[in-house]
């Protein structure tokens, strides 16, 4: 799951020189009950987690299955699932199951963590005949988004999975379920589900490997509860695909519950204009395949404008803020003679969302929300004068930390929109964001662009860990000596999605973990 390209290459080298493991390390579980029709599950381990550590989960799945379920868990070299070894592992475990008496061609796959990543690539490339796969603490990668993936896939994510973050599961939910052209088919073939209170390690048992120990969050259900919940979801999905149409309504209810859970996160990422929902239109003509701008930036311009009576209707557009040919600037398109309730200013802002470079590997290891929103807005002075206020003093209107005010708004929006349980957990165990004064003004062109929104871990006066956030800013009065740059106030904004992701995942890691 977490493994990067370099690590994957390293494993490939190690495996090439290592002997194949003895089949004795593989796990084969016979059905608990031989009276029903036989089905088999081949389970691919996560990195560093021994096949034996999946036996309790596998037994929970056997127990709640309406079939006589065989389970095979092959052991990879160094307990690290690898694309070069998976075909051999699967064929070896199938041989072992046949030798032990298995007599069915009906089989499905499951994979945990990195095992899910390697499994989905294998199934895609090999044209393997299993009827379904289950990804646990893992998800179908972005590279399969625009092509129809050939194998029905159930995705299960833990709410408190510190490795396979629940925000990335939300992204899968958005594409697989919410944006599916046919919801019935999506629910049946590509459901994405979450288990409340469950961590990454709870798909397995026993000691977590070092990386999981370091990164995972603290679960709020017992391991047995986690296994029972996962087993029920797996069996519902499997039964549906083996022809038990009654399972559909159960699966559909689970999808609805996940949708309700995801709602605050979905809303936050929509406000941001998350680029993995739809790419920014930038200079391409607006279409249903791209996003014109960020709704959050328009809200920011309203706060920046500070109008008391008159109103403002902003339209944001995504553009790289360092683009100069053509250059993209904020605009106020009309004006009023006085700031009455009838005065409605039409404004335009410009936004560029910045994402973590490592997110392109799509491992869910780093935050997926924008680390900063670079937003070009009209200054408060410019907005107030356009609304009909006369002789607005720039030092008074724009001379304080307005970016900070907007960022406080983003954070409090996230806190008021997250679920109650999430907020209660975060307030008890999480590291709060505190907004510091804006930095700058950085009025010399590129300075503002390349100076990042700062997140600095520090302690507040009561000695508690907090994250101090500061926005580099650029601002110019209406009488600025460069006429084309007059009347602007630019901020590095805290994305409401970043605040939400912090509250659900990353803000918990240092004080709500299993270390
Ligand atoms: C085996 O399955 C049958 C039919 O579902 C059930 O009645 C019986 O209790 C099961 N036996 C065991 C040992 O689970
Ligand atoms: C999927 O298609 C859309 C629209 O053509 C495109 O913008 C997007 O980049 C594609 N996504 C991936 C992951 O290939
Ligand atoms: C959606 O898919 C289901 C199952 O394939 C089908 O019965 C139904 O007619 C489809 N609905 C629409 C609106 O196409
Ligand atoms: C607000 O701006 C949008 C986009 O320019 C426009 O379509 C809409 O009519 C405006 N709304 C009002 C009330 O002026
Ligand atoms: C206000 O708008 C009118 C009409 O578009 C325009 O002629 C005028 O110059 C504007 N006034 C200011 C102060 O921008
Ligand atoms: C605004 O502040 C600057 C720098 O402190 C000062 O030079 C200027 O006179 C002030 N302008 C007004 C209108 O107060
Ligand atoms: C969440 O908490 C708020 C404020 O305490 C309360 O009004 C609301 O009913 C709660 N919502 C749920 C779903 O419990
Ligand atoms: C410091 O942060 C903690 C939360 O981590 C908070 O409870 C406390 O009130 C803060 N102290 C001050 C002085 O802001």
| Three-class DSSP labels, 211-232 | HHHHHCECCCCCHHHHHHHHHH
Looking at residue 159, its pLDDT comes to: 98
Segment 340-365 shows an average pLDDT of 97
For residues 221 and 87, membership in a common domain is answered with yes
Q: Could you tell which of 301, 330, 346 is best to mutate to test the pocket of ligand 4, judged by most ligand atoms within 8 Å of the CB?
A: 346
Give the residue numbers spanning the domain of 120: 4-263
The two structure tokens encoding residue 193: 């589900």
Is 455 part of a structural domain of the chain?
A: yes
Beta-carbon contacts of 493 under 8 Å, excluding residues fewer than 6 positions away, are 296, 297, 300, 372, 373, 374, 375, 403, 406, 407, 410, 453, 471
- Which CATH number does the domain housing residue 93 bear? 3.40.50.1820
For residues 224 and 302, membership in a common domain is answered with no
For residues 11 and 107, membership in a common domain is answered with yes
Whether residue 477 has pLDDT greater than 80: yes
Is 327 part of a structural domain of the chain?
A: yes
User: Which ligand lies nearest the alpha carbon of 426?
Assistant: 8
Is 273 part of a structural domain of the chain?
A: no
Segment 34-41 shows an average pLDDT of 94
For residues 410 and 329, membership in a common domain is answered with yes
Is 56 part of a structural domain of the chain?
A: yes
Is 269 part of a structural domain of the chain?
A: no
For residues 249 and 299, membership in a common domain is answered with no
For residues 344 and 405, membership in a common domain is answered with yes
Whether residue 27 has pLDDT greater than 50: yes
For residues 327 and 251, membership in a common domain is answered with no
Whether residue 1 has pLDDT greater than 50: no
Which ligand 1 atom lies nearest to the CA of residue 63?
A: 14
Is 280 part of a structural domain of the chain?
A: no
For residues 68 and 148, membership in a common domain is answered with yes
Answering whether pTM is above 0.85, one says yes
For residues 253 and 363, membership in a common domain is answered with no
Provide the sign of the torsion angle of the four alpha carbons 162, 164, 169, 171, taken in this order: positive
Verify whether ligand 1 is closer than 6 Å to residue 34 (CB atom): no
For residues 79 and 19, membership in a common domain is answered with yes
Q: Could you tell which of 180, 181, 185 is best to mutate to test the pocket of ligand 3, judged by most ligand atoms within 8 Å of the CB?
A: 185
Looking at residue 191, its pLDDT comes to: 98
For residues 400 and 460, membership in a common domain is answered with yes
Q: Could you tell which of 145, 281, 359, 361 is best to mutate to test the pocket of ligand 2, judged by most ligand atoms within 8 Å of the CB?
A: 145
Number of domains in the chain: 2
Q: What percent of the chain has pLDDT over 70?
A: 95
Whether residue 16 has pLDDT greater than 90: no
Round the average pLDDT of the chain to a whole number and report it: 94
Which residue's CA is minimally distant from atom 9 of ligand 6? Answer: 395
Whether residue 13 has pLDDT greater than 70: no
For residues 325 and 242, membership in a common domain is answered with no
How far apart CA 100 and CA 82 sit, in angstroms, is 26
Is 127 part of a structural domain of the chain?
A: yes
> What is the pLDDT confidence band of residue 23, given thresholds at 50, 70 and 90?
low
Is 471 part of a structural domain of the chain?
A: yes
Looking at residue 172, its pLDDT comes to: 98
Looking at residue 149, its pLDDT comes to: 94
> What is the pLDDT confidence band of residue 307, given thresholds at 50, 70 and 90?
very high
Verify whether ligand 8 is closer than 6 Å to residue 464 (CB atom): yes
Per the omega criterion (within 30 degrees of 0), is the bond before 326 cis? yes
pLDDT digits (tens, 9 = 90+) for 148-168: 899 999 999 999 999 999 999
Lowest mean pLDDT among 56-70, 182-196, 438-452, 471-485: 438-452
């Amino acid at each position: 799951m977490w493994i990067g390209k370099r690590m994957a290459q390293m494993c490939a080298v190690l495996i090439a020189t290592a002997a194949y493991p003895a089949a004795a390390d593989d796990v084969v579980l016979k059905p608990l009950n031989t009276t029903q029709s036989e089905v088999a599950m081949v389970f691919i381990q996560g990195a560093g987690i021994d096949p034996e550590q999946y036996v309790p989960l596998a037994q929970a799945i056997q127990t709640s299955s309406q079939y006589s379920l065989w389970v095979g868990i092959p052991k990879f070299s160094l307990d690290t699932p690898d694309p070069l070894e998976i075909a051999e592992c699967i064929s070896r475990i199938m041989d072992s199951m046949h030798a032990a008496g298995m007599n069915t061609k009906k089989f499905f796959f499951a994979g945990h963590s990195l095992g899910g990543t390697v499994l989905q690539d294998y199934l895609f490339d090999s044209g393997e005949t299993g009827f379904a796969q289950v990804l646990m603490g893992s998800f179908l990668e972005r590279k399969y988004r625009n092509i129809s993936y050939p194998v029905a896939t159930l995705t299960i994510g833990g709410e408190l999975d510190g490795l396979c973050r629940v925000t990335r599961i939300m992204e899968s939910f958005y594409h697989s379920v919410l944006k599916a052209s046919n919801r019935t088919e999506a629910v049946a073939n590509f459901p994405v589900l979450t288990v409340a209170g469950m961590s990454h390690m709870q798909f397995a048992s026993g000691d977590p490997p070092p990386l999981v120990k370091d990164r995972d969050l603290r679960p709020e259900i017992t391991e047995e509860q986690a296994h029972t919940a996962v087993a029920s979801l797996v069996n519902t999905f499997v039964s549906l695909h083996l022809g038990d149409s009654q399972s559909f309504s159960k699966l559909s209810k689970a999808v609805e519950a996940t949708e309700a859970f995801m709602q605050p996160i979905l809303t936050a990422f929509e406000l941001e204009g998350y680029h993995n929902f739809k790419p920014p239109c930038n200079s391409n003509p607006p279409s249903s395949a791209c996003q014109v701008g960020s709704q959050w930036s328009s809200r920011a311009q309203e706060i920046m404008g500070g109008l008391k009576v008159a109103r403002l209707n902003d339209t944001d557009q995504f553009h790289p803020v360092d683009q100069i040919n053509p250059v993209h600037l904020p605009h106020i398109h009309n004006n009023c003679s006085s700031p009455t309730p009838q005065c409605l200013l039409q404004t335009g802002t410009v936004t560029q969302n910045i994402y973590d470079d490592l997110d392109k590997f799509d491992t869910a290891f780093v935050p997926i929300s924008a680390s900063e929103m670079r937003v070009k807005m009209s200054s408060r002075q410019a907005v107030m004068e356009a609304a009909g206020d006369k002789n607005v003093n720039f030092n008074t209107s724009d001379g304080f930390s307005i970016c900070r005010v907007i960022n406080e708004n983003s954070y409090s929006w996230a806190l008021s929109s997250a679920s109650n349980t999430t907020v209660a957990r975060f307030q008890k165990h999480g590291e709060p964001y505190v907004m510091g004064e804006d930095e700058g003004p950085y009025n010399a062109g590129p300075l503002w662009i390349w100076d990042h929104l700062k997140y600095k871990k520090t302690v507040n006066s009561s000695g508690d860990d907090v994250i101090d956030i500061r926005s580099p800013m650029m601002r110019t009065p209406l009488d600025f000596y460069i006429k084309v740059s007059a009347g602007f106030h630019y901020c590095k904004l805290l994305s409401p999605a970043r605040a939400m992701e912090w509250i659900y995942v990353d803000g918990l890691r240092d004080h709500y973990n299993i270390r």
